[in-house]
Amino acid sequence: MNMKQREMLLDSITLPALTHYADKLPATALPHLGSLAHIGLFLSRTCRRRFLRGLTEIFAHLPADRQRGMQRLLQISELDYEMRCDAVRDASRLRQQVAPEERESICKFFRALWGARALREYYSLLDPYEAEGEDNVESILDGSAFRSGGLVSRLLGNNVLSLEQPAPRATNQKTQRPTYDSKARELRVGDTVIRRYGKFNYHEQILKAFQKAKWNKRIKTPPSFSNYPDRLRETIDQLNTAQKNRPMLVRFRLHEGYVVWDWR
């Protein structure tokens, strides 16, 4: 079994685990659970690990562990300060909404979320800019996606191994560079259109900057975002959103004042 098949098999275990643990929690806890899960799904691997570890520590019994967990959340480099504070606030409110015996289910939920690869693959289900996906967005944010019959149950109902999108058939992917056609408003890899944008948005400033830099691995954050960290974060989220029936082959992230792209 190769690595890709192993990851898909892991997903077939983690998705029902998410539903199993969410079903054990009171309805009042779900909005806070969903908000934290939504943040975690968009973080890079390293930051997601730190984020989820911090969350599990917040639900520990010892005050020192809880304090350490909050500090981890406040040090997540890919979130602006306001979003870090919101995450700590949501985690604290989630802790208040559950009984002590339910806190272990919370910790197990976040451990399972680490392996929920299908949820991260389908960014179109989480994209607040796509009208087609609005119902699914709300189901993530209010936590109902994780209940029986919710989004994760529907994903599990599909053949999880078939969720993997094919790569372009052109030359080896690693020898290519993406391109952005500003007239057609298309983001491409080789001959494959991976995203088509119907109207101007802030994403275009970033894509044009990468095109000008001949798709160097990183560019400085455009000046228009300097005083608007929330706008920058939302734009990066949108850039990482796959269009229905199209593979999203590249991923964008923030790192120390730069916007970075890489293969997914």
Q: Are residues 217 and 106 in the same domain?
A: no
Q: Are residues 41 and 153 in the same domain?
A: yes
| Residue 193 is assigned to a structural domain of this protein | yes
| Residue 178 is assigned to a structural domain of this protein | yes
| Residue 37 is assigned to a structural domain of this protein | yes
Distance CA 82, CA 102 (A): 28
Q: Are residues 116 and 223 in the same domain?
A: no
Domain span including residue 207: 173-263
- Tell me which of 131, 161, 191 is where a domain ends: 161
Q: Are residues 180 and 248 in the same domain?
A: yes
pLDDT in tens, 113-168: 887 877 776 644 544 444 444 555 567 878 888 888 777 777 766 544 444 444 44
Q: Are residues 107 and 210 in the same domain?
A: no
Q: Are residues 33 and 120 in the same domain?
A: yes
On the question of pLDDT at 201 being above 60, the answer is: yes
| Residue 12 is assigned to a structural domain of this protein | yes
Residue with tokens 């709300």: 138
Q: Are residues 15 and 96 in the same domain?
A: yes
**Quick check: 99 and 91 in contact, CB under 8 A?**
no
Order of strands, edge to edge, in the sheet holding 250-255? Answer: 218-220, 258-263, 250-255
* Residue 193 DSSP one-character state: E
**Quick check: 252 and 206 in contact, CB under 8 A?**
yes
- Tell me which of 129, 161, 193 is where a domain ends: 161
pTM attached to this predicted model: 0.57
- Those residues whose C-beta lies under 8 Å from the C-beta of residue 119, and which sit 6 or more positions away, are 41, 113, 125, 126, 151, 152, 155
Q: Are residues 133 and 193 in the same domain?
A: no
Q: Are residues 194 and 124 in the same domain?
A: no
On the question of pLDDT at 237 being above 70, the answer is: yes
Domain count of the fold of the chain: 2
Q: Are residues 97 and 185 in the same domain?
A: no
Q: Are residues 109 and 181 in the same domain?
A: no
> For the residues 40-59, what does the mean pLDDT come to?
89
| Residue 10 is assigned to a structural domain of this protein | yes
Q: Are residues 83 and 198 in the same domain?
A: no
Least confident of 9-18, 116-125, 245-254: 116-125
| Residue 167 is assigned to a structural domain of this protein | no
pLDDT in tens, 53-98: 999 999 988 899 999 999 999 999 888 888 899 999 999 999 999 9
| Residue 166 is assigned to a structural domain of this protein | no
Stronger pLDDT, 93 or 257, i.e. the higher one: 93
Long-range contacts of 88-97 (CB under 8 A, 24+ apart): 90/32, 90/35, 90/36, 91/32, 91/36, 91/55, 91/58, 92/58, 93/32, 94/29, 94/32, 94/33, 94/36, 95/58, 95/59, 97/26, 97/28, 97/29, 97/32
